Amino acid sequence: MKIYQAKDYNDMSRKAANIISAQIIMKPDCVLGLATGSTPVGTYKQLVDWYQKGDLDFSKVKTANLDEYKGLSKDNSQSYYYFMQEHLFKHVNIKEKNTHIPDGTETDAEKAAEDYEAIISGLGGVDLQLLGIGHNGHIGFNEPSDIYPKDTHVVDLQESTIEANKRFFDSIDEVPRQAYTMGIGTIMRARKILLLVSGAEKADILYESICGPVTPSVPASILQLHPDVIIVADEAALSKMGIS
């Protein structure tokens, strides 16, 4: 596990974009596992900027997103399909057929999960998986539990996650209560994992995830067992780590 300290959110975003850019340059047809939420927005913005300057080519890149709200269609402004279009896909030369996100409109949870696992397997697996971390330690939408979910599945979102996501909706009542998400096993099969963490409010859970016991009650703690994890975090998020 490698930890890179960034000065602030912007510095974190640039450092993360550098790592993703290197992956694309080294393997132009790489498979990127992508994340949503506020944390990676700056990283995507930097990648778009470099693409527009002619420094990056996404024409052969394939992607698989971590998760999607169950029940939201692609044209819903809060769907993760919509998020990825707005923040990355429509601004670069990636092919639509090469982008993959769980089908939030599929009502058969078992079919949705099996279909998405088949897609990832068909891509040859994920070369680099981008992650954020929730206040309760969730990665993707894998909430604290008694077990580590192996594969893509439907999950009931915890109240803390619903509360954290309500800022994206008009009211908390509009926040979906379920989501499709890659399982912990799916995430851990990625060849490289890039975890981004920003802000003092994530300092405690980052410390617990890195320095605490490996337990499904803190889903991100499983990353301690992955052979190739890079953490890019700003000074505030690393404030409990004793890194200077």
Catalytically annotated residue among 10, 18, 136, 226: 136
- Whole-angstrom distance, CA of residue 161 vs CA of residue 175: 10
Q: What's the CATH architecture for 2-188+211-233? A: 3-Layer(aba) Sandwich (3.40)
197 DSSP assignment: E
Convert the pLDDT of each residue in 199-237 to its tens digit.
999 999 999 999 999 999 999 999 999 999 999 999 999
**Catalytic residue status for 226:** no
Comparing C-alpha atoms, which of 8, 11, 15, 6 is closest to residue 194? 15
**Catalytic residue status for 143:** yes
Catalytically annotated residue among 143, 165, 234, 235: 143
**Catalytic residue status for 10:** no
Catalytically annotated residue among 67, 68, 106, 235: 67
Evaluate if pTM is beyond 0.85. yes
- CA separation (Å) from 78 to 3, 4, 69, 89, 103? 32, 31, 9, 16, 14
**Catalytic residue status for 98:** no
- Whole-angstrom distance, CA of residue 184 vs CA of residue 135: 17
Convert the pLDDT of each residue in 177-206 to its tens digit.
999 999 999 999 999 999 999 999 999 999
